[in-house]
Chains A and B, each alone.
Chain A
Amino acid sequence: MRSCATRGNGPAPGGPRMSEDIHVKKVLTLGTALAGLAFSVVGAAAADIQPAVLYDLGGRFDKSFNEGAYNGAEKFKEDTGTEYRDFEIQNDSQREQALRNFAKRGMNPVIAIGFSQANAVEKVAKEFPDTQFAIVDMVVDLPNVRSILFKEHEGSYIVGVAAAMASETGKVGFVGGMDIPLISKFACGYKQGVMATDEDAEIFENMTGTTGAAWNDPVKGGELAKSQFDRGADVIYHAAGGTGIGVLQAAADAGKLGIGVDSNQNGLHPGSVLTSMLKRVDKAVYKAFEDAQNDSWSSGIEVLGLKEGGVDWAVDDNNAELITDEMKASVDDAKAKIISGEIEVHDYMSDQSCPF
């Protein structure tokens, strides 16, 4: 109760006074009502961290990386009994508000999912230097922010190996979402993997668009895939969010193969999705919570690649028949070589260019 009041009366960075007063009143009434309950909860909890997750547009159940974050947080809750808070934004302007709200209520650590949160995290992290923040997919260079990056190029490399081996025509495709360096990173790793397996392979590469709408246009994704099939491709890898649903659908319709991304999409069209490039956001979120609980939180850049289990390919019942032993051996071989450093996969974002 006391902590509530002090927090409410303290200076509100950036917030308008009026709404703050109302807020205080609300908090006070709510606080009185819940005081007893709150104390019992705090007493029962194993540790005293109050983590929070802020999802990107797309929401908690997007069958993609937001859902990965949710799964990680849920698993942590299950394992440790630590409650967390989360929030799904409806538009861009809510990012900052939500982060500030979390921080103001004493949530710690606060994890923001998605590269679009970078500006908001940077601003709010400066206002609350004692709160630990984490951001997935982007770098925010502040002493209290952990920037979690994935080596998508490594994951893309190994699905590229699988694609080249599955292709009968020697032509494979890539459909990206928005034309940004992050997606070129997927494309470049994929190309390298394909070329390493089959030097003569031809690769078609398309981006859906240059605005946010490019993540949610399955119709255009389907058309891009059809156009690549018409040119002879028979395996297409997508890194395009909702747009990719159209790519996988077009592949299933045409009797060709698609490759999913971020989460395991093999089950969308069993038998038509060769594999999926997994990005283990769940692991990253779990680890962040864990570090905070064990007092081993570290800020700065944390990069998760094949070695750390941050990226991988998906093999399950849905695609078991598509993956030959030979393919599996080659992919495992490539994985081992990347982990040992024998193969170095080019990172597009290191020099903004792709040599392949």
Chain B
Amino acid sequence: MYEMYYTLILILDSTVRLSTPLLLACLAGLYSERAGVVDIGLEGKMLGAAFGAGAVGYLTADAWAGLLAGIAVSVGLGLIHGFASITNRGNQIVSGVAINFLAMGLTALLGQTWFRQGGKTPALPEGGRFRDITFPFAEELRDVPVIGPLYSELLSGHNILVYLAFLAVPLTWWVLFRTRFGLRLRAVGENPAAVDTAGISVTWLRYRAVIACGVLCGFAGSYLSIAQSSGFIKDMTAGKGFIALAALIFAKWKPANAMFACLLFGFLDAVAIRLQGQSIPGIGEIPVQFFQALPYILTVILLAGFIGRAIPPKAAGIPYLKERS
């Protein structure tokens, strides 16, 4: 029994690590889409940020400098998306896809030119990486039954970005639902004409949303390259941006739901990793492929039958035209 409990704690521990990048990217998408800018380029921004963070983290041996670089790259890509889709009223999907391709190609090219390791950055030096934080007394409490593992395995022993990601959830909720900026941001995603009539700049609001999205994507990408692993690898996001996008729809564009959706996806991933190749009593060994398909099967089933319709912000995807002339 206790063995099972301990295993569960370890799975949850792994869940937290795996859902962090999803959660950051999902919240990033939340800001953008709530303001009416559909962002399919989450993946590309994460990848760009991962590369920026990996490269600068390697060169400066300073994780914080790496994080800043990651955020800068991601915000830069976000502004390109903004320029194309807000200022020039281009199609947001097309622009987002372009960002993805741009990031995929540029990171590989620059990585190869600068480091000559097949698009990889070299392994980070000491200090170039966010290390795990151990809470006080974590080691002493490890052997205390029940709460010991809970405290020392699950709560303690993550890097700072993990804690920041989970703090970003209430913060996002507060910003979006309790501040004037948040109210306007949501309004601009539902009915930009009304916001414009009230004398508030739709363009500037949407740009701020895109920048907020860029900052969070920067965290997500940096987490991949300088916290969870050590260094950038070509295409290391491996579709996480798209899973975050699915989680966003799953969560009906709400911050707390987003957290639960990302935790669920992370949990399924962790279970898949843990149970792979182990036989389960009464069932036997379950094929790897089943576990890998599980998140997608679940998404389809839950979206089709249980969650109900996910209604996006009304003005999402529609460029705002101030006046027809």
Binary per-residue interface labels of chain B (266-286) against chain A in the complex, 1 for a CB within 8 Å, 0 otherwise: 000110011011000000000
Does A114 belong to the interface (CB within 8 Å)? no
Q: Which residues of B contact A268 (CB under 8 A)?
A: 123
B233 and A224 contacting across the interface, CB-CB below 8 Å:
no
CA distance A207 to B229 in the complex (A): 19
Contact with B224, one of A63, A206, A219, A269 (Cβ below 8 angstroms): A219
B10 to chain A: closest residue by CB: A230
Q: Which residues of B contact A230 (CB under 8 A)?
A: 10
A217 and B238 contacting across the interface, CB-CB below 8 Å:
yes
Q: Knowing A59-B119, A223-B14, A246-B229 are in contact, say whether A210-B277 is a contact too (CB < 8 A).
A: no
B236 and A217 contacting across the interface, CB-CB below 8 Å:
yes
B131 to chain A: closest residue by CB: A253
Binary per-residue interface labels of chain A (308-350) against chain B in the complex, 1 for a CB within 8 Å, 0 otherwise: 0000000000000000000000000000000000000000000
Q: Which residues of B contact A227 (CB under 8 A)?
A: 10, 14, 273-274
User: Which listed segment binds A: B110-118, B184-192, B309-317?
Assistant: B110-118
A206 and B273 contacting across the interface, CB-CB below 8 Å:
yes
Closest chain-A Cβ to B22's Cβ sits at a distance in Å of: 11
Contact with B233, one of A206, A226, A245, A269 (Cβ below 8 angstroms): A245
Quick one: which of B18, B119, B273 has the most chain A CB within 10 A?
B273
Does B170 belong to the interface (CB within 8 Å)? no
Does A75 belong to the interface (CB within 8 Å)? no
Does B127 belong to the interface (CB within 8 Å)? no
Does B235 belong to the interface (CB within 8 Å)? yes
B229 and A224 contacting across the interface, CB-CB below 8 Å:
no
CA distance A222 to B228 in the complex (A): 8
Does B252 belong to the interface (CB within 8 Å)? no
Closest chain-A Cβ to B193's Cβ sits at a distance in Å of: 43
CA distance A230 to B13 in the complex (A): 11
CA distance A242 to B224 in the complex (A): 14
B105 to chain A: closest residue by CB: A90
Q: Which residues of B contact A217 (CB under 8 A)?
A: 236, 238
A210 and B123 contacting across the interface, CB-CB below 8 Å:
no
A209 and B292 contacting across the interface, CB-CB below 8 Å:
yes
A224 and B117 contacting across the interface, CB-CB below 8 Å:
no
Give the interface residue-count category, chain A.
20 to 34
Q: Knowing A61-B118, A222-B229, A249-B123 are in contact, say whether A204-B277 is a contact too (CB < 8 A).
A: yes
Q: Knowing A217-B238, A223-B273 are in contact, say whether A62-B14 is a contact too (CB < 8 A).
A: no
27 A/B residue pairs, CB under 8 Å, sorted by A = A58-B118, A59-B112, A59-B118, A61-B112, A63-B117, A63-B120, A204-B277, A206-B276, A209-B288, A213-B235, A216-B233, A216-B236, A217-B236, A218-B229, A219-B236, A220-B269, A222-B228, A223-B18, A223-B269, A224-B276, A227-B10, A227-B274, A242-B234, A242-B236, A245-B233, A249-B230, A268-B123
Does A96 belong to the interface (CB within 8 Å)? no
Closest chain-B Cβ to A71's Cβ sits at a distance in Å of: 13
A245 to chain B: closest residue by CB: B233
A245 and B231 contacting across the interface, CB-CB below 8 Å:
yes
Does A205 belong to the interface (CB within 8 Å)? yes
Does A127 belong to the interface (CB within 8 Å)? no
A207 and B276 contacting across the interface, CB-CB below 8 Å:
yes
B229 and A206 contacting across the interface, CB-CB below 8 Å:
no
Q: Which residues of A contact B229 (CB under 8 A)?
A: 218-219, 222, 245-246, 249
CA distance A269 to B124 in the complex (A): 11
A241 to chain B: closest residue by CB: B233
Does A171 belong to the interface (CB within 8 Å)? no
CA distance A268 to B231 in the complex (A): 12
Binary per-residue interface labels of chain A (30-60) against chain B in the complex, 1 for a CB within 8 Å, 0 otherwise: 0000000000000000000000000000111
Closest chain-B Cβ to A169's Cβ sits at a distance in Å of: 16
Does B17 belong to the interface (CB within 8 Å)? yes
Binary per-residue interface labels of chain B (218-236) against chain A in the complex, 1 for a CB within 8 Å, 0 otherwise: 0000001000111101111
Closest chain-B Cβ to A61's Cβ sits at a distance in Å of: 4
Does A290 belong to the interface (CB within 8 Å)? no
B233 and A242 contacting across the interface, CB-CB below 8 Å:
yes
CA distance A58 to B235 in the complex (A): 11
CA distance A206 to B278 in the complex (A): 10
CA distance A205 to B273 in the complex (A): 11
A217 to chain B: closest residue by CB: B238
Binary per-residue interface labels of chain A (53-85) against chain B in the complex, 1 for a CB within 8 Å, 0 otherwise: 000001111110011000000000000000000
CA distance A213 to B238 in the complex (A): 6
Does B289 belong to the interface (CB within 8 Å)? yes
A210 and B289 contacting across the interface, CB-CB below 8 Å:
yes
Q: Which residues of A contact B276 (CB under 8 A)?
A: 206-207, 224
Does A122 belong to the interface (CB within 8 Å)? no
Q: Which residues of A contact B230 (CB under 8 A)?
A: 249
Does A179 belong to the interface (CB within 8 Å)? yes
A207 and B288 contacting across the interface, CB-CB below 8 Å:
yes
CA distance A58 to B108 in the complex (A): 10
Q: Which residues of B contact A62 (CB under 8 A)?
A: 117-118
B273 and A224 contacting across the interface, CB-CB below 8 Å:
yes
